[in-house]
Structure formats: C-alpha cells, structure tokens
Structure 1
Amino acid sequence: MRSDPQSFAVQWRDAWNAHDVEAVLAHFADDVVFTSPVAAQLLDDSDGVLRGKDALRAYWTEGLRRIPDLRFEVVGVYAGLDTVVINYRNQKGGLVNEVLHLRDGLVVEGHGTYLAAGDDDNLAGATR
C-alpha cells in the first residue's frame, strides 16, 4: 500500500465521527463499488451493492439521518497489497470491518463486514 494505512484510518474515523460524508467520499474513486449487508436492509430495492460515489453518498447520508449518534472507534488497522482493513466498534459497541481495496490512493472496492455470530443488533446498529 502506497499511503500510510494508519493515517488513512485516522482520517476515515475523524470524517465519520464528524458526520462529514464528503470528507469520507474524498478517499473513494468515482467508480467505486461498495458492498454492505446494512445497505440491503436500509435501502429499498437494494441488493447491498452500491456503485459509484453518488450511490454511496445517498446511502451514507440516509444512514446518518437514521443514526444521528453514529460514532466509530478504530480497534485495529491492517495493511495488505493495495488493501487496508479497518476494524472498529460502532456506536452500539458492535465490531465491524471495512475491507478497502485501493488504486492510486483511492478506494475502488470496499466491503462492510459484520460479526457473523448471529448478532442482529450488530447489523441493525451499523450505518455501513
């Protein structure tokens, strides 16, 4: 990974905690593809696959509207080849991972992943 994963995670966290969707989107390519089981729950007629910044903007804006107390605490940051994984706790204490694949310093593919222990509260409390 060319950029510093820790700095990326700090900027990502700070933007989310400020509820600044545009600051979060600044790290994403225009043609990004993002998947999230929460998107499938939150958005009517969604299969959980969001294509492009406009789709992400609409999803995250709606998520923040529905979860005004959203807050993330980064637990760990993992780096791979052009990949960063941000492990964090959401405002309800649920553990979440963002798996982000980058090209030229921007996220081109991302996946919100949630604890698979059958904890429906973990999914319901997430925004992403």
Structure 2
Amino acid sequence: MTALSRPFAEGFARDWLAAWNDRDIERILAHYSEDIIFHSPRIAKVLGNEAASVFGKQALRDYWTKALGAAPQLFFELDEVLIGSDALTILYTNHRDELVAETFVFGPEGKVVRSIAVYR
C-alpha cells in the first residue's frame, strides 16, 4: 500500500467509528486482514485471562462479540485522526468518557494487519 492520504484516513475513521456505534461486528471486521494482531489492555479483562493480544480475525470476532455483549452502552466519538506512512491513529472518546488512541497499521491490500489500542 502506498502512503496514506488524509481522505483515506478520515474515511476509514468515520466508517470504523460508525460500524462500532452501529454495533455491526461484520462491518467492523471488514477493516481487518485475516492475520490481524490486535493489542489492548482490555483483552485480559474481557476474556478473563492474562492475554494482551488477539491473533487472527476469528479470535478477534470472538473477543469483540463478547466485549460488545458486555457493553450495551458502547459509543465512540471522534476527536482526531493522525496520519503516518502506512499507519493512522484515531483519537476518540468512548462511552466511559475515556480518551482512547487506536493505531492501525495497513498491509499491502489496504486492510489492517496490526492494531494497538491505548487508554488514558
């Protein structure tokens, strides 16, 4: 994939947040490659283990399905979109009024191959 453009990054951010706010797991997952690696400090709490990462789209589907079930009030509000060469970071505020930064690294097919979520 070539360097990311501002229109691509903003379009990705809008669609990604809308998919989450609509609670549409398939639309959320459409942004990710089959071999996605996702990092988040929330994984261990949701899954009830010590995992810090989820590997693969099916494992991510399982994790997010469980997480969505536990957070019926989930809502994300876009604050900012930051652009890198093959990555972008979305700054957003969640339903718990936490500032969240999520970085997405894109593979050659334009799908996210690695994502890292961090919280204030």
What number of residue pairs does the alignment pair up?
115
2:38 maps to a residue whose letter is: F
Structure 2 unmatched ranges of 5 or more? none
> What's the CA shift for 1:7?
0.2
TM normalised by structure 2 equals 0.92
Cα distance in 1, alignment partners of residues 116 and 50 from structure 2: 15
- Asked if 1:71 is matched to 2:75, the reply is yes
Percent identical residues: 38
Match of 1:94 in 2: 98
What do residues 63-92 of structure 1 show as CA deviations (whole Å, max 9, x unaligned)? 110000100001000010110100000011
Q: CA RMSD in A?
A: 1.1
Higher mean displacement: 45-54 or 87-96: 45-54
Match of 1:108 in 2: 113
Counterparts of 1:1-128 in structure 2, within 5 Å, are 1-2=3-4, 4-103=8-107, 104-115=109-120
> What's the CA shift for 1:46?
3.9
1:8 maps to a residue whose letter is: F
TM normalised by structure 1 equals 0.86
The 8 Å contact of residues 4 and 83 in structure 2, kept in 1 or not, is answered as no
Kindly report structure 1 stretches of 4+ aligned residues shifted beyond 4 Å: none
Distance 1:85 1:35, change over 3 A: same
Structure 1 unmatched ranges of 5 or more? 116-128
